[in-house]
Structure formats: structure tokens, C-alpha cells
Amino acid sequence: MTILSSVAFVMAQGERSKVVMSIDSRNYYVHTVGADENLSDISDIYSVSEARLVTLNKLNTDSLVILYEGDILRVPCYKRVRDLLPTRGDERFERYRPSEGESLYEVAVNYGISLDTLIEDNPALDITNIGNRRTILIRKSAIDGTTMEELMLEGRRYATILQQLSLKYNYFVVEPSDSLYSIAMRRMIDLETFKRDNGEFDELYAGMVLKSRRGDGCGEENVRFTEEDELYYQDSVRYRTFHKNSLTITMMLPMTDSLGRIRGNFVEFYQGALLAVEDMKAQGRSVNLQVYDTHNSASYVDSIMMYDPMIDKTDLFIGPVYERNSAAVMEYAKENSIPVVSPLETTTEGSYGRGFFRMAPLNENHYDKLDSLIREDSNVVLIYTAKTDAKLAAEIEAQVAGRDYKKLVYNDQYEVTEGGELKNALAKSGNVVFILSNDEMEVDRVMTLMCGVFASRGLRGNYPVSVVGTPSWVRFRYIDRAMYFDLHLAYMANYHADRSTNRVAMFDGRYLQAFGRMPSTFACRAYDAVKLFSLGMFAGGDLAESVNAISTPMLKVPYNFIPHEGNMVNGVWSLVRYDDQKIVVE
């Protein structure tokens, strides 16, 4: 790491830098390391991971990263330019419109103002190319305060800083003896590309900072800001202030794996989202969907967030599905107050406030609705098997703790080894039986034995029992589904589309017609995510309140988002019951 002790950026210890510059076509804070400041301190100041700081600044990771006072780091700045600008009409500044081909150095010379001041007052400035800036703010109190000699020294300092921070360009200062031809010959550069990269400047001036492309790198187009972005100070899209006529959703999905193989579940997720967008447009709402394949890679997501200018159009994020790939998205979203929806993941590390929504419900509420099954006079039976699901067993034992229940244990021969015979454990009415296994053969055998017990009592179906299982039982291929109805199967679900309802049946038909197959739970969840949060965004107000107030039924379980550990999490599970030859969802 190069030590640049002459850097004049004024920054209090523990505070963000006031300097934001465009480097390699993206915006970065330029941070000067203070005395006794380490990588962890800087990570906390900017809410950016240490790993990203190491990568962006090419720090040596072979040993402990050591920083020295005066070192320069680049740190991602996700704030929108208009949020960094002073309010329109601020009388401290004069607004100057640079002419075509004019350089920042010319502006500095004409006003006698330092580069430090211009860069601090004009965030996200590309020091070598101001051709895409409609307005330059000139601090009135700093006019005629800097000499030509001082500007030359500043130019050399900035060239040194940018040379260190840029991955794509070499930076240098024009010396008094330089000509365009001598620069081209000395640096072996293409003049047409060189001039385009540096703003099509009209003339060379000693002290100008210029750049040339490194190696064979093709560089990237400079990000262009609209006049509205530059001249008007407006709040960015906040959770409470969405009032646009068009909503842009950025969806990040692992559509392919590291080997390029298609992941069918997420293709179906995308297809379900398309149908939701179609519905919103039928309601007269403009919803734009931009989809990125993350390749299930955190580094790939990082590159999207850093280098794709389309990200700046985002009003709402859905994804990137897996938490291990979400760091860059969450940093950007939190900085710019853009809501993020996690449609599938069931764990969340970090507190992101009312802008982060987890659609999977709270584990703490998993068994709340079992109270409707287990009454004071219920005969509760727990059946363990050779392949008992230990996690499921622990959860159920916690739910029935403090009340009387019977415990039966079967071996791999389906013989009772503990607790007595099944026929004696089952009462004539009010039975609630938990089969603590997710093995299809074991579940089939135990349910068959139960049917045999009731049949021996002269009953013919519709037995006096509720068998409690798990959603995985729905995927069993060989069990006779009639037993589910006879034994009144019940289970808690956070993913369930009730296909007996008209809305789900109509969605199934549309999906089948559009894509040639029946939709999966992934397609249904995507439809809900896009439609629910689009309606919430257009409703305005606090997004959590708006989403919770939506009465339009979705395809899956109801959604009611509540604060939990610093985020908004769905608090609703559904109890699915096989009853009277139909499936009922409570």
C-alpha cells in the first residue's frame, strides 16, 4: 500500500469521507486512513464488509492486512448523486454550465478554485472528463483562492491517488513540455479512444489530469446523469415516498449453476413473476422486470452491483434468494432505502429495518395453529419409528410438554418396542396422532396399521383421528391418498397453494397454457412476491403497512409482516387439513 502523506482531504476520525469520485465508471468514497484506524473500523463506518474492501483495493491477504495513516482506500458509494448534492437554491454556490470540450482544469483555472473544493462540492465527479456534467457547483467563498502552482501540485496528487485506486486506467498529469503527439507516442495509446475517454478536450493544459486505458482493457462507458439528477435535490425512493407511475423490480435468481446447467425451479420462479407483471399491467400499472442470473455466486452479484448501471433504476429488489449472495445487494439497498424481498430464504443475518421483507414465516410461530387440533379432552399419541426425524420430534415434544400424552415406539419390523399396542393407545374419539417420521415407507406402514385398528372396530373410513405430519408427505409417491382423508391428515405449511380455489385454478390454467406444464410452488411464490409488493409500492405510505392492508388474496398462505430482530418477517403459517374429501386451509 502506498503512503500518501500529502493528501489534504479533511475528515474527522470515524466519519465517512466527504469525497465521492467516479472511478472506473462507478462511484466511490475516497477514504484517507487515520491514525490507529484499521480495516474493521472502516468497514463499520461505511457498512461494507472487510472482504469487499480487500478485493476493491487489492490489499495483500497473504498475511494480516495492515493499514498506515495516510493510506488511500476506495469504498463503494451506493447513494444516488442527487442525495449527495446540496439543496437547489443553496446560495453558497454558483452553478456553472461547462462548454463542450471544457476540462475540469480549465474551470479550476478560470475561477481560481482548488480541485479539492470542486471535487468535494461535486460528488461522483470524473476528474478527467466532465463532458457528462450539465452543471458544476462553484463555491463562492473559494473563488480566486488557488494559484496555478497550487493547482499543478493538486493535479499531481490526484493523479497519484487515482493511479493507485483505478483497476482500468493509468492516470498522469500533463507537463508543460507535453503535446498530444508526445503523450500518444510515449504511452502508445490510440488518440481517438484517448480523447473520448477524457471528454473530447479542446486543448492541453499543464496540470490537467488525464487517463489512458491499461493493457487491452476496453473500459466502460461513463455513467451519465440526467439534468434532473444534477440540478434538483429530491429524496430517493424511500419506503414511505414511492409515488412514481412506473415500478422497476430487479429480480436476482440463480438460474444456472457454476457449470452453466439450468436450474428448473428458478426458471419456473421467473415464469410465475411474468404472469404477475402481466396482471399488474392489466390493472393499468406499469411494472418493469429486470432479471439477473446470479449463478449462485456472491462475487458475481458483487460485479452486477458495482458495474451494471441498470441497477440504479431499481425501485424494489426480489432476491438474490440465498443469503450468502446478498451482502452487496443489502449494502446498496440500505444506503438508498430500497426495499428488498427475500422470497424463499428462512434465515436472516443482520438488521435492515422496515425495508427488508422475508416471505417465509417465523419458525417461532410454526405450531401456533395446532391449538385448534389439540383440545383439553384430546387423546395425544406420539409415534416414534426406526427413522424418527429428530428435529421434528424435538419440536413436537416441546409443543405437548406439560400435558398428558402417550408414546409408542416401533422398530424396523413395525413391532411395538415401547408404549404398548396401537389399538390400546387409540381412544374411541378425539385422537391426535403425531407420526414423527418423514420416511415414506414408515409413514405408509404406520397409517395402514391405524386404519386397521379402526376397521377392526367396525368403522368404514372417516376415522375419529387427526394425524399430524409434515408438508414433505405431499411429495410421497406411493401412499394411498385416501388414507390422508380417512385419517384427517394435518400439517403446518409456509408454502401451500390451495388448488381447490378459483384463483389458483385460474393461475394453473394460465401457466399451463403459457409454459406447457403445471406450475410448481416456486412459480406460485414468485407470482405472490411480485403482485403483493407491486400493489404495496403503488399504494404508497409505509410499505409494510400497505402490504398488510392488501385484501386481494394471493395464491399461497396469507402474508402479514411483523417486526422481528430488526426486519419485517411474515408471521403467518397455515394449517392444511384433509377433511371430508377436500383439503381445507386455515
Per-residue pLDDT of the chain (586 residues; tens, 9 = 90+): 333 333 445 455 568 888 899 888 889 999 989 888 889 899 999 988 888 888 888 786 655 778 888 888 999 988 888 888 888 788 899 999 988 888 898 899 888 899 999 999 999 899 988 887 888 999 999 998 888 788 888 988 898 889 888 888 889 988 776 777 777 777 777 777 888 888 888 777 878 899 988 763 333 333 233 333 333 222 222 333 455 678 999 999 988 877 778 888 889 999 999 999 999 998 888 999 999 998 888 888 888 888 888 888 899 999 888 888 888 888 888 877 889 998 887 666 667 777 888 888 777 667 777 777 888 888 888 889 888 888 888 888 888 888 888 888 888 776 777 777 888 888 888 888 888 888 888 888 888 888 888 888 888 878 888 888 887 887 788 888 888 888 888 887 776 666 667 777 888 888 888 888 888 888 888 999 999 999 988 887 778 888 888 877 777 667 888 888 778 888 877 778 888 777 777 7
**Model pLDDT, residue 243:** 55
Q: Are 383 and 436 in contact (CB under 8 A)?
A: yes
**Number of residues that make up the chain:** 586
- 4: DSSP letter: -
b/e for 10-44, b at 16 or more Cβ within 10 A?
ebeeeebbbbbbbbbebbbbbbbbbeebebeebbe
Q: Which of 510, 508, 453 is nearest to 486 (CA)?
A: 453
**Model pLDDT, residue 225:** 30
**Model pLDDT, residue 68:** 83
Copy the grid coordinates of residue 32.
Answer: 484517507
List domains and CATH numbers for the chain.
20-78 (3.10.350.10), 84-213 (no CATH), 238-360 (3.40.50.2300), 368-493 (3.40.50)
Would you call the peptide bond into 176 cis, given omega within 30 degrees of 0 as the criterion? no
**Model pLDDT, residue 222:** 32
Which residues on neighbouring strands pair with residue 396, listed in sequence order?
A: none
Q: Which of 88, 146, 96 is nearest to 117 (CA)?
A: 146
Distance separating alpha carbons of residues 61 and 51, to the nearest angstrom? 10
Q: Which of 138, 561, 498 is nearest to 342 (CA)?
A: 561
pTM of the model: 0.60
Q: Are 557 and 545 in contact (CB under 8 A)?
A: no
- 388: DSSP letter: B
Distance separating alpha carbons of residues 284 and 44, to the nearest angstrom? 44
Give Rg (Cα) of the chain. 32
